[in-house]
Amino acid sequence: MTSIEGYSLVLSSAESARPGTDIATLVETYSTLLFRVAHSVLRSRSESEDVVQDVFIRVLEHRRSLATVRDMRVWLIRIAWNLAIDRRRRIRPDQFDEHFAESLTARNLPADQALDEAQRISSVLRELERLPSAERHVLLLSAIEELSTPEIAQILGKTESAIRASLFRARTRLRERLERGATA
């Protein structure tokens, strides 16, 4: 396959001068990561797949400037993150569903333990949703996507110290809320 919806996947010699700018290679290398980023926001397989496709359409639209991208991984994650956030605002309010919590439980647990674990995960996710959006976003990128502070700073367009402070506040606030919920 050399084209998608009118876009050529073959780059000219000037466009492919930088290693790693071959579109097929980018798709192969980053599509799983971009799916995980989108899924951490959307929690919908089909919506996340659409975001990944939209990311690579953006790459195709901007293929002439790929050589100027300093960190391809961070650039692609930033695009996926922003597209997922925009899509989430349009399709539904911020809310985790029970099905998502159940999908995170271990498969080899007895039914009663799996139910308890799903309920605990659900309560963590509910409290996560109640965090201010800036703190929630930083925590999602750090804990779920396992991105470093400099990467998160680049993706969100903030300083590393602001990211560390937001991450500290988010973890502290989440821990306090969970402890209160456990004693209630």
pLDDT digits (tens, 9 = 90+) for 21-68: 688 899 999 999 999 999 888 878 889 999 999 999 999 998 888 888
pLDDT < 50 positions in the chain: 1-4, 7-20, 93-96, 101
Question: Taking Cα atoms as reference points, which of 29, 182, 53 lies closest to residue 120?
Answer: 182
Report if residue 150 sits inside a domain: no
Report if residue 74 sits inside a domain: yes
Q: How many domains does the chain have?
A: 1
Report if residue 1 sits inside a domain: yes
Report if residue 68 sits inside a domain: yes
Average pLDDT over the chain reads: 80
Residue 51's domain comprises: 1-92
Report if residue 110 sits inside a domain: no
pLDDT at residue number 8: 47
Greatest alpha-carbon pair distance for the chain in Å reads 64
pLDDT at residue number 109: 66
d(CA 108, CA 23): 39
Report if residue 66 sits inside a domain: yes
Report if residue 14 sits inside a domain: yes
d(CA 146, CA 116): 26
Instruction: Name the pTM for this structure.
Output: 0.61
CATH number, position 1: 1.10.1740.10
d(CA 65, CA 79): 15
